[in-house]
Amino acid sequence: MEDNLILSERKENVLWVTLNRPKKYNALTRVMFVELCRIFKEAADDDDIAFVVFTGGKGKYYCSGSDFSPAELATLHEIDNHGYKLFVDVLIDFPKPVIALVNGHAVGVSVTMLGVMDAVIAIDTATFQTPFADIGVCPEACSSYTLPRIMGHQKAAALMLFSEKFTAQEAYTAGLVTKILPAATFEEDSKKVIARYATLSPFTMQVGKKLMRTTAIQDELLTVNRKEELELIGMFSREDTIARLTAKFMKPSKI
């Protein structure tokens, strides 16, 4: 895609998908979400790919969430489905493991999407924040369903209702993060973890994921994803949301 905002590279039997928009803290645009849909759909059909690693590129941010710039917001009323919703649908149905390699700060949708992935490996300096109430939007990416089940209601509420920022250790204790690796050796250590996973039986992993995420669960997640999207789109017509987004995204980010 233009400017290589998303990089995808197969290394042996692993597909590495890397966000590559460091000047915008790897914030995701609708076009990027649609490109991610294409990449993951192709990976689902590629028998040579055992699993996908999803990570951020250079900079302090794994991903700063959805791009809420005026140009992006203007498209929301022109389309039936926002790009994030389409990509989360793809993740819900994706038959292979998806491993989030959180190599920096995670904000918004990059946090909420973790609930539909299969493992979260984080650098020890990472933070996790979903500042929905700060900007007048609501939980998305099925997080209203997944995160209370993963973290418990009160921890999920702290994250999504009260805009608390979690450290990597706090996220690990709450169950959102699978493994924490030290910053000094993160790249080397994470590659070792991925290399070990790559020796496992792809067929066994796929069957295991299918048994864990049944058709009934998939259907429920797809329904939740659509309900959240409808609530979110409705919020973009509220004066409070518009005022909060304008105040936030018309000035330099302090996240």
DSSP codes, 50-76: -EEEEEE-SSSEEE--B---HHHHTTT
The mean per-residue pLDDT over the stretch 83-97 comes to 96
Tokens 């996973």 sit at which residue?
197
pLDDT in tens, 97-107: 999 999 999 99
pLDDT at 253 over 50: no
pLDDT at 254 over 80: no
pLDDT at 78 over 70: no
For residue 61, list its beta bridge partners: 105
pLDDT in tens, 53-67: 999 998 999 999 998
pLDDT at 250 over 80: no
pLDDT of amino acid 1: 45
Cβ neighbours of 175 (radius 10 Å) = 14
- Domains of the chain, by residue range, sit at 6-185
Q: Does domain 6-185 have CATH number 2.30.30.700?
A: no
- Burial classification of residue 196, based on how many CB atoms lie within 10 Å of its CB (0-12 exposed, 13-18 middle, 19 or more buried): exposed
Q: What is the mean pLDDT of the chain?
A: 93
